[in-house]
Amino acid sequence: MPNNPIPPEACHSMPELRAAIDRLDRQLVAMLAQRQAYIERAAVLKSDRGTVRDTPRVEEVVGNVVKEASRAGLSPEIAEAVWRALIEASIAHEYKAFDAKQD
């Protein structure tokens, strides 16, 4: 399958539409894996567990994403909800990674 997405209006059946969504999901998973690697690196670089959760940075990231969502045609409400969930899961993962380096 090509990496170029098929426009939704070019999908003429549910199997074709689902295949396009599955292709995008694979790309999203690869990007999230890369993002996770940065989170894991942050756990290595931080010397204080108390700095794992950085509320001002969370709000900065969400604000940036909401602005980008508006430019890209993504519902800002969807973008904010997805990123807040992603950030919370990332923070939990970073705590685990931080604690693992202490062992």
2 pLDDT more than 80:
no
Q: Which domain holds residue 38?
A: 8-102
- Read off the pLDDT of residues 71-85 as tens digits, 9 standing for 90 and up: 999 999 999 999 999
- Read off the pLDDT of residues 8-29 as tens digits, 9 standing for 90 and up: 999 999 999 999 999 999 999 9
Question: Within a domain: residue 2?
Answer: no
Q: What total number of domains does the chain contain?
A: 1
Question: Within a domain: residue 25?
Answer: yes
Are residues 76 and 66 in contact, defined by beta-carbon separation less than 8 angstroms? Answer: yes
The dihedral region occupied by 37, where left means phi > 0, alpha psi between -120 and 50, and beta the remainder, is: alpha
The pTM assigned to this predicted structure is 0.89
Percent residues over pLDDT 70 in the chain? 95
54 pLDDT more than 80:
yes
Count the neighbouring beta carbons within 10 Å of the beta carbon of residue 88.
12
Kindly tell me the sign of the dihedral angle through the C-alpha atoms of 63, 89, 81, 70: positive
CATH code (residue 97): 1.20.59.10
- What is the residue-averaged pLDDT of the chain? 95
